[in-house]
């Protein structure tokens, strides 16, 4: 398979960029096709610097455009499918979520079969496993526990069905007589420089005298650094290309975490921002059970108003459950089958993320300075 090529979808996203940066270092790789709906100008410049290492082709288009996807897959040796819409507040209409996350994945799988692409790696999420109740304690869960979300919210539901489609496609016959081999990676909550969630928390805190929003103090999660998730994708790709390792990986899914300490989401945000003077809100918060039922009432209001007005509740039961659960996972199976070891330590990940938070604070102060002069 000398002189191989790889297509990465969602290449302009938080995780996709990191996958591209690591992928261009792979041996024998001739071309990376980076696909996304649109690339911001700054990222185009960053990617152009990688051209010295490998041919990097930027493809702008819609994952639902069958002809575009067929052309993107033509002559490709592997696909890493990291594109999806993440929405925890049900802001995006359900139909769009299902079309992009599920239908887009199905279109891509069909295109791989037609273009005889033998390897397909899917970026899934732990949300396909739950949590289903904030009362349930799940610690160091593994793949053999067969956890599955019972939520019908568009994001976890669309990702669950898409992952199922990917794993069911393992063993498909390709047009050239070959076979399609697939696997899925389920990262825990991803943090790191560029995180849209962390950016949102920092923005909120900057508007509130440096006080971070606190709504997840009772959770215990094992967050994972974005660079380690990207590294797991590279190792999955190597393993599926290795005739000795591949049989153990085909049709499998893997939880991806790292050695970031298990902590609440609130404490993670605090640990990544405290160097810049941010602090946690010390005020009393409502009991979880009460917040949960308030979420239910807000969902009902949204539903009743839907024929006349699109009301977007500030939170819902699914978000309350996710944000307040004990829900952690082991990466031992990925360690065993993929040879996965985190590339970045917690200290390094924290250092890189904290420095990025500092740049956000600096931008904000510079912006305020501009306004006052």
Q: What are phi and psi of 65, to 5 degrees?
A: -85, 100
Q: What are the residues facing 79 on neighbouring strands?
A: 7, 120
Q: Of 28, 36, 38, which is closest to residue 4 (Cα–Cα)?
A: 28
Q: Tokens 């009902």 label which residue? A: 300
Catalytic residue among 122, 155, 157, 255: 155
Task: Name the 3-class secondary structure at 285.
Answer: coil
**155 has catalytic annotation:** yes
Tokens of 107: 């279109």
CA atoms within 13 A on the CB side of 13: 21
CA geometry: angle 255, 259, 260, nearest 5 deg: 100
Burial of 150 (0-12, 13-18, 19+ CB in 10 A): exposed
- Report the C-alpha gap between 206 and 361 in whole angstroms: 8
- Report the C-alpha gap between 263 and 49 in whole angstroms: 37
Q: Are 19 and 35 in contact (CB under 8 A)?
A: no
State the CB neighbour count (10 A cutoff) for residue 113: 17
Q: Are 48 and 21 in contact (CB under 8 A)?
A: no
DSSP assignments along 120-173, one per residue: EEEE--GGGT----TT-EEEEE-GGG-------SHHHHHHHHHHHHHHHTTTPB
- Report the C-alpha gap between 259 and 335 in whole angstroms: 13
The 8-class DSSP code of residue 255 comes to: E
The 8-class DSSP code of residue 263 comes to: B
Q: Of 207, 225, 324, which is closest to residue 265 (Cα–Cα)?
A: 324
Residues with a catalytic annotation lie at 155
């Amino acid at each position: 398979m000398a002189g191989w090529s790889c297509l990465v979808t969602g290449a302009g996203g938080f995780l996709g960029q990191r996958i591209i940066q690591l992928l261009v270092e792979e041996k024998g790789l001739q071309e990376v096709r980076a696909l996304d709906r649109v690339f911001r100008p700054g990222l185009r410049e960053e990617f152009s610097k990688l051209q010295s290492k490998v041919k990097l082709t930027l493809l702008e288009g819609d994952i639902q455009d069958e002809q575009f996807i067929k052309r993107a897959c033509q002559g490709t040796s592997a696909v890493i499918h990291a594109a999806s819409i993440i929405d925890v507040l049900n802001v995006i209409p359900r139909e769009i979520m299902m079309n992009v996350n599920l239908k887009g994945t199905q279109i891509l799988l069909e295109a791989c079969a037609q273009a005889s692409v033998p390897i397909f790696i899917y970026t899934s999420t732990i949300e396909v496993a739950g949590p289903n109740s904030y009362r349930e304690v799940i610690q160091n869960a593994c793949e053999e526990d067969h956890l599955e979300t019972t939520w019908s919210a568009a994001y976890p539901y669309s990702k669950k069905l898409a992952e199922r489609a990917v794993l069911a496609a393992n063993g498909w016959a390709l047009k050239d007589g070959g076979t399609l081999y697939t696997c899925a990676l389920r990262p825990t909550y991803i943090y790191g420089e560029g995180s849209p969630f962390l950016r949102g928390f920092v923005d909120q805190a900057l508007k509130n005298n440096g006080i971070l929003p606190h709504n997840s103090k009772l959770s215990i999660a094992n967050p994972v650094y974005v660079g380690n998730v990207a590294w797991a994708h590279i190792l999955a790709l190597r393993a599926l290309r290795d005739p000795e390792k591949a049989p153990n990986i085909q049709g499998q899914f893997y939880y991806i975490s790292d050695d970031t300490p298990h902590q609440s989401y609130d404490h993670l945000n605090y640990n990544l921002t405290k160097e810049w003077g941010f602090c946690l809100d010390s005020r009393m918060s409502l009991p979880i059970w009460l917040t949960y039922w308030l979420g239910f009432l807000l969902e009902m209001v949204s539903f009743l108003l839907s024929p006349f007005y699109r009301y977007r509740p500030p939170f819902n039961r699914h978000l309350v459950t996710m944000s307040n659960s004990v829900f952690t996972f082991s990466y031992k199976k990925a360690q065993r089958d993929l040879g996965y070891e985190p590339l970045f330590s917690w200290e390094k990940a924290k250092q890189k993320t904290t420095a990025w938070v500092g740049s956000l604070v600096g931008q904000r102060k510079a912006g305020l300075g501009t306004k006052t002069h």
